[in-house]
Structure 1
Amino acid sequence: MEYRRRTVLRAGTAGIAAAVAGCLGSNSTDDEGSIAGEELALATTTSTYDTGLLDEINAAFQERFGAQVAANAQGTGQAIESARNGNADVILVHARSQEDEFMRNGYGVNRRDLMFNDFVIVGPSDDPAGVSDTEQATAAFEAIADVQAMFVSRGDDSGTHTKEMVIWAEASSEPGGEWYQETGDGMGDTLMIADESNAYTLADRGTFLSMQDNLDLEILLQGPIEGGPELLANPYGIMAINPEIHPNVNYQLAMAYIGFVTSPEGQDVIGNYTSNGQQLFFPEALSDDPNFQQYVPDGWQPNSNGE
């Protein structure tokens, strides 16, 4: 069910400054009191929810600021559409091309790189397509298509589905036919369907590892975290909804949340979160060599006038 947000007054600059100052480390209750009792509308992906990471982040944020988080976990495309309609204060997603379009159209502001993991190709242990013998994601997909082994796709315009479509576009084979099934569901449900169907699927590493004990599927092609192809990289970004487009958004609270999850405290929550002793996500917001490309659409360059 889509989150239907309440109407709130736009925060003044003094309130925003207080919220951001608090999330960057001030322990003053006066600073933090400006957002205590508020509720943040967060549109995010199923992978953050299915892994349990979202509960950890939101609990830490609530403890720090006294503000609640109403999270709506959907595929990235649905999360972005919800935010485009003004039903979120902040979005946390993982499809850079869709994030860039959202930014270019003026709906998002103050984008930050947040964390990353990677995608993996998983399937049955007998591996009828020989995916484990391949070294590239495109070759793995081609092998599956060649023997028409069952492949389960999310088919939901999520970040995972977007990545899958990129791989198929670069492969010499196309998906379709009885061997290719679209679920329209989240990552956790899609993994369960693939498991029941003895099928292959593309999964984010975090969700797969968090569910691994309940699945008979195996990782057959690793992503770059374990030395696999860079095409399977899976970065996550976070951004506030532009209050000039949707004056009802709680911009003050959105910036406090972004400030918290990209602060040392928030990044520690992400980096220390594990399942079955394995790290699911890797923090990326803080670096002694910052990537300024995170603030603008991927590949953007100023024009000849320096604008």
Structure 2
Amino acid sequence: MRDFCDRVKLVRYSTAHAVDSGLVRAPWRVTSGLLIAVVCLSCHVAAPPALTLATTTSVGNSGLLDQLAPAFHQYYGIEIHSHLVGSGLALQMLAKREVDVVISHAPALEAVALRERPDWRYRKIMFNDFVLVGPSDDPAKVKSASGVVDAMRRIASSPVKFLSRGDQSGTHEREEALWKFAEKRPPSDRLVVAGAGMGATLRIASEVGAYVLTDRATFSQLASSLRLVIVFEGGVSLLNTYAVIVDPSGPLGTSAVAFADWLSDGDGRGVIERYRVGTDVQAFNPWPRERQSQRPEDLPD
């Protein structure tokens, strides 16, 4: 850009010299001067500051973030710098103003955060579901379970390991709720805490032949490289909702709100709807426009 501006200055000097020498008429001096002034002014306009996003690992591991960030940059000229972390940590980072925007999928944690900071702006943006995956031979017979609670009880009673995220993520929050509903959980030697993101947790579960709760999008993205299959799916207890949360009073509050609006009501919805993983699996569904979206407890239908 500096080289371009230097060349513009050279053209401006040459034009002025030509007028002074009588080679061109004086009105050209005014017209060209205004044009070059506008062009040079554009050389000094700084790009908007980048937004810092803390998002669930499932949004990153599924590949969706790789579609959202460049699409938003193309639309607004604002870059997105991201941190892939559990929802609990993401909300803490927003509270400390270490990030400008959060994408979370932990409704209970979100509700606590909003009670403490009612000025935050909250919108549901999409949903998919959780699934239970495990070894193809299904030693705990989870495939024949009557429901997700029965499935968790079968895993707890079997000799097979269950791999937990253990990271205060939305997936970990849901896993803990399911163990509570089941009123039973594996002993500590079979409940292995990965303390990692969804992609890494799935790879470990594949290596050790363990059961694990995962979002469908990340599993579908990685399924071809894993020795795991879906053993249980379906039901409202496995619904997985995602929200975008911003602090409008933050340092980049205006840009953060623009990103949130783009996701919830703008062209970001189309990016979400078109994104596919694995064998043409729709990874996420945009939040229905006719449904409430401003509370953690809101559901898509």
Range into which the TM-score falls when normalised by the shorter chain: 0.7 to 0.9
SS of 1:144's partner is: helix
Count of equivalent residues: 253
Task: State how far apart, in whole Å, the 2-side matches of 1:118 and 1:191 are.
Answer: 16
- Residue by residue over 1:79-124, the C-alpha shift from the partner in whole angstroms, topping out at 9 and shown as x without a partner, is 1111111111111010111111111101662211100000000000
Task: State how far apart, in whole Å, the 2-side matches of 1:157 and 1:218 are.
Answer: 25
Find out whether 1:251 has 2:253 as its counterpart. yes
Show the 5 A alignment for 1:44-55: 44-55=55-66
Which residue number corresponds to residue 111 of structure 2? 100
Which residue number corresponds to residue 270 of structure 1? 272
Aligned residues: CA RMSD: 1.7
Structure ranking higher in helix proportion: 2
Residue 55 of structure 1, CA deviation: 1.2
Which residue number corresponds to residue 283 of structure 1? 286
Query: What 5-or-longer segments of structure 1 have no aligned partner?
Result: 1-33, 223-227, 300-307
Residue 112 of structure 1 is aligned with which of 110, 123, 147?
Answer: 123
Residue 295 of structure 1, CA deviation: 2.1
Residue 204 of structure 2 is aligned with which of 165, 178, 193?
Answer: 193
SS of 2:120's partner is: strand
Are the counterparts in 1 of residues 248 and 256 from structure 2 also a CA contact under 8 Å?
A: no
Task: State how far apart, in whole Å, the 2-side matches of 1:35 and 1:153 are.
Answer: 45
Are the counterparts in 1 of residues 54 and 83 from structure 2 also a CA contact under 8 Å?
A: yes
Find out whether 1:62 has 2:68 as its counterpart. no
Identify which of structures 1 and 2 has the higher relative contact order when contacts are C-alpha pairs closer than 8 Å and 6+ apart.
1
Are the counterparts in 1 of residues 248 and 254 from structure 2 also a CA contact under 8 Å?
A: no
Task: State how far apart, in whole Å, the 2-side matches of 1:242 and 1:106 are.
Answer: 11
Residue 297 of structure 1, CA deviation: 5.2
Larger radius of gyration: 2
Find out whether 1:128 has 2:139 as its counterpart. yes
Q: Return the letter of the residue paired with 2:263.
A: V
SS of 2:154's partner is: helix
Task: State how far apart, in whole Å, the 2-side matches of 1:141 and 1:59 are.
Answer: 40
Structure 1 length-normalised TM: 0.79
Rate the CA distance shift 1:161–1:230 in 2: closer, same or farther, 3 A: same
Which residue number corresponds to residue 10 of structure 1? none
Task: State how far apart, in whole Å, the 2-side matches of 1:97 and 1:261 are.
Answer: 22
Find out whether 1:164 has 2:165 as its counterpart. no
